[in-house]
C-alpha cells in the first residue's frame, strides 16, 4: 500500500520502490504475550535498526504496534488514510450472544478487560499468531471466539465476523492506521514521504498516542482511545481499565484541533485521578 501510494504520488515507474521484508521478533515468538517478552519494541526494533544502518529508507508499521516514545534518530513522517477502526468478533453474532463461560482467545489486555467488563463469565485464553492461526483456533473448537481488527481483515480481503460498534468496544490507540518512519534529518526521504501523509489520520493518531503517553501506559495497561477529526474539530473518547474489567474509567471531549493534545493529556490525568490505587498502579504518568 505504501509503495503504491508513493508510486502514484510521484509518478514513478512500478519498479522504483523496492519492498524489503523484515521478520521481527514479534513475528517469530508466538507462544507468549508481547508484554512478557519486550512489548511493542518487538515489532519495531528490527526495522529501526535497518533504517539507522541504511538498509532501508523508510519503515512501514501498524501504528497500534509502535511505542509512544520513538527511538532516537527515528521520525514518524507520514500515515496512510485510516481504515476501519472497529473490532470484528469471530465465532458469535455479538458479545452478548457468546455462550455462558465461552472461551475467548486474545493476547490484548485491552480486549480482555473490555470483554470481562461486559461479560465477567467469559474465560479469556492467551492467543497470538496471524489471522489464519487465530481463525483456525475458532474453527477447530480450541476456543469459542476471538476478536480481530476489522482493518487487518479488510486489507487481507477476508469478509468474516461480526462488527463490534465503537460504542460497545472502543479500539486501541492508533488502530487501523499505517505509519511510515524514516531517519530523522534525512531530508530527501522526508520530502518524498510527506507527499503521502494523510493529515486527518496523522492528527487523530497523534492525539491518541498523546493520551497514551500522558497515562504512562505500557503493554500491560488496558487502554482504549479514539479521536475523530472533522475539519478544525476533534471528538475524543478514552478509557482505562482494570485488567479484569472490574473497573473502567471513561471520558470524552470535543475541542478545536489546536487544543486537542492538551485536552487529551488533561483527560488522562482526570481519569487517573478518579481511579482506585490498583488501577492507577497499571500506569506510570511520570
Compute the distance between CA of residue 248 and CA of residue 251 in angstroms, rounded to an integer: 10
* Other beta carbons less than 10 A from residue 258's beta carbon: 9
* Other beta carbons less than 10 A from residue 45's beta carbon: 16
Q: Given the C-alpha cell 532516537, which residue does it identify? A: 72
- Report how far apart the first and last C-alpha atoms of the chain are (Å, whole number): 37
Residue 101 has what pLDDT? 98
pLDDT band at residue 220 using 50, 70 and 90 as cut-offs: confident
- Start-end ranges of CATH 3.40.190.10 in the chain? 1-80+177-197, 87-164
Q: May I ask the CATH architecture of the domain 199-286?
A: 2-Layer Sandwich (3.30)
Question: Of 109-123, 194-208, 210-224, 256-270, which range is least confident?
Answer: 210-224
Residue 39 has what pLDDT? 54
Percent of the chain at pLDDT exceeding 70: 94
Q: How far is CA 29 from CA 105, 106, 239, 285, in A?
A: 17, 15, 29, 29
- Start-end ranges of CATH 3.30.160.40 in the chain? 199-286
Residue closest to 1 by CA, chosen among 55, 43, 60, 71: 60
Q: How far is CA 207 from CA 12, 53, 107, 149, 183, in A?
A: 33, 30, 25, 20, 22
Residue 45 has what pLDDT? 87
Compute the distance between CA of residue 137 and CA of residue 134 in angstroms, rounded to an integer: 5
Residue 182 has what pLDDT? 98
Q: Is the CATH number 3.10.20.340 carried by domain 87-164?
A: no
Residue 26 has what pLDDT? 60
Compute the distance between CA of residue 50 and CA of residue 22 in angstroms, rounded to an integer: 9
Residue 42 has pLDDT above 90, yes or no: no
pLDDT tens digits, residue range 175-187? 999 999 999 999 9
From the candidates 48, 65, 144, 186, which is the catalytic residue? 65
pLDDT tens digits, residue range 141-167? 999 999 999 999 999 999 999 999 999
- Average pLDDT score over residue span 198-205: 97
DSSP assignment string, 252-282 = EEEEEHHHHHHHHHHHHHHHHHHS-HHHHTT
Compute the distance between CA of residue 5 and CA of residue 230 in angstroms, rounded to an integer: 23
- Average pLDDT score over residue span 99-115: 96
Compute the distance between CA of residue 228 and CA of residue 201 in angstroms, rounded to an integer: 9
pLDDT band at residue 233 using 50, 70 and 90 as cut-offs: very high
DSSP 284: -
Residue 30 has what pLDDT? 55
Q: Given the C-alpha cell 465461552, which residue does it identify? A: 102
* 3-class DSSP state of 149: strand
Q: How far is CA 261 from CA 36, 164, 166, 172, in A?
A: 30, 27, 21, 17
Residue 23 has what pLDDT? 83
CATH topology of domain 1-80+177-197: D-Maltodextrin-Binding Protein; domain 2 (3.40.190)
pLDDT tens digits, residue range 75-91? 999 999 999 999 999 99
Looking at per-residue confidence, does 30 or 208 come out higher? 208
pLDDT tens digits, residue range 52-72? 999 999 999 999 989 888 999
Looking at per-residue confidence, does 42 or 145 come out higher? 145
The backbone torsions φ and ψ at residue 57, rounded to the nearest 5 degrees and listed phi first, read: -100, -20
Residue 24 has what pLDDT? 74
Is 48 in the active site? no
The per-residue pLDDT of the chain, averaged, comes to: 93
Amino acid at each position: 500500500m505504501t509503495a503504491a501510494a508513493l508510486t502514484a504520488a510521484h509518478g514513478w515507474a512500478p519498479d522504483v520502490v523496492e519492498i524489503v521484508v523484515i521478520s521481527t521478533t514479534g513475528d517469530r515468538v508466538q507462544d507468549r504475550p508481547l508484554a512478557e517478552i519486550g512489548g511493542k519494541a518487538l515489532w519495531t526494533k528490527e526495522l529501526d535498526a535497518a533504517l539507522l544502518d541504511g538498509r532501508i529508507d523508510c519503515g512501514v508499521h501498524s501504528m497500534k504496534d509502535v511505542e509512544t516514545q520513538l527511538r532516537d534518530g527515528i521520525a514518524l513522517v507520514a500515515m496512510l488514510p485510516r481504515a476501519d477502526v472497529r473490532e470484528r468478533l469471530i465465532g458469535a453474532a455479538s458479545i452478548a450472544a457468546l455462550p455462558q463461560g465461552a472461551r475467548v482467545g486474545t493476547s490484548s489486555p485491552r480486549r480482555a478487560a473490555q470483554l470481562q467488563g461486559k461479560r465477567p463469565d467469559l474465560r479469556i485464553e492467551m492467543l497470538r499468531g496471524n489471522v489464519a492461526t487465530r481463525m483456525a483456533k475458532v474453527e477447530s473448537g480450541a476456543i469459542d471466539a476471538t476478536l480481530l481488527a476489522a482493518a487487518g481483515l479488510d486489507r487481507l480481503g477476508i469478509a468474516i465476523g461480526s462488527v463490534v460498534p465503537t460504542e460497545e468496544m472502543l479500539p486501541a490507540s492508533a488502530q487501523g492506521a499505517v505509519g511510515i518512519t524514516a531517519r530523522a534529518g534525512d531530508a530527501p526521504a522526508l520530502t518524498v514521504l510527506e507527499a503521502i501523509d494523510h493529515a486527518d489520520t496523522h492528527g487523530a493518531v497523534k492525539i491518541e498516542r498523546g493520551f497514551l503517553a500522558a497515562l504512562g501506559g505500557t503493554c500491560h495497561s488496558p487502554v482504549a482511545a479514539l479521536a475523530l477529526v472533522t475539519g478544525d474539530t476533534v471528538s475524543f473518547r478514552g478509557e482505562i481499565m482494570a485488567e479484569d474489567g472490574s473497573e473502567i474509567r471513561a471520558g470524552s471531549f470535543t475541542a478545536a484541533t489546536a487544543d486537542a493534545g492538551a485536552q487529551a493529556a488533561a483527560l488522562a490525568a482526570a481519569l487517573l485521578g478518579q481511579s482506585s490505587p490498583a488501577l492507577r498502579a497499571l500506569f506510570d504518568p511520570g
